Amino acid sequence: MNKILLGVIAVLLLPAAAFAVDGQILINQATVMAAGGFPYKITQPGSYKLSGNLSVPLGVHAIAITADGVTLDLNGFSIIGPGVFPNGSGQYAFAAVFCADHERITVTNGSVSGFVNGLLFVGNSRFIVLDKLNVNANTSMNGQPVSGGAAVVGVNVAAYSLIRDSIFLGQVQLTCPSLIRDSSVSAVETNVPPDGSGFDFPRQCTGAANIVAPFQ
């Protein structure tokens, strides 16, 4: 059997749910479990789309992005965390979407709940777009209500990032220059590099308007 025929058979045997008709890679509870469980690791640039809700257990990220140039379309679905956390265990540090030191990431069109930290883009993460999202970071720890960080975008460098058309119940931390537009946010803290010495509340990022054009 020649190599071409073997290749055709291999493609035909791929799970039907692995790819959407437009070439996007589909993610749902079944595909996550088939890939080894949470966190679902996105290691290559490209377009990814939820095809169902994700229900995430305690002590893991839902999705970990380790590549530049990723678009994650939640497709109207939800990433749902455990919602209740034991105090002092460190379990609350996990997020629905986690990314460190990568750029040109877009997360759009869906909901996140049940995580103390909803979306974490840390280190040298930049050029992040969070669009059409509803993120609720209100959870419970040892029976007491906790309002967490709905989103953290950039820590070490200027993030040059954009949040738009979204609702964030919880604090948003941005590294400047970045922009929040047409959104509802419980609280904002901003950090102006290069000193990285802390967040400057409640002032918006200096020069935020300069980054609007690249994302329009």
Residues 6+ apart with CB under 8 A from 184: 166, 167, 168
> What pTM did the predictor assign?
0.81
pLDDT at 101: 94
Which residue range is the domain that position 99 belongs to?
A: 21-215
**Do the Cβ atoms of 166 and 132 come closer than 8 Å?**
yes
In the chain, the number of structural domains is: 1
Residue 129's pLDDT is what?
A: 95
**Residue-level pLDDT at 92:** 64
pLDDT of residue 14: 42
Residue 11 lies in a domain: no
Per-residue model confidence (pLDDT) at position 15: 43
Q: Tell me which H or E stretch contains 112.
A: strand 103-113
pLDDT of residue 91: 60
Q: Are 110 and 79 in contact (CB under 8 A)?
A: yes
User: What pLDDT sits at residue 206?
Assistant: 43
Digits of tens for pLDDT over the chain (216 positions)? Answer: 444 433 433 333 344 346 655 679 999 999 999 999 999 999 999 999 999 999 999 989 999 999 999 999 999 999 999 988 876 556 667 999 999 999 999 999 999 999 988 999 998 899 999 999 999 998 887 778 878 889 989 877 778 888 999 999 988 888 877 888 888 888 777 775 544 444 444 344 543 433 333 333
| Tokens (6 digits) for 194 | 């290069």
What's the helix, strand, coil split of the chain in %, to 5?
Answer: 15, 45, 40
174 domain residue, yes or no: yes
The pLDDT, as a whole number, for residue 216 is 32
Q: Where are the alpha helices (DSSP H) in the chain?
A: 3-12, 29-34
14 falls within a domain: no
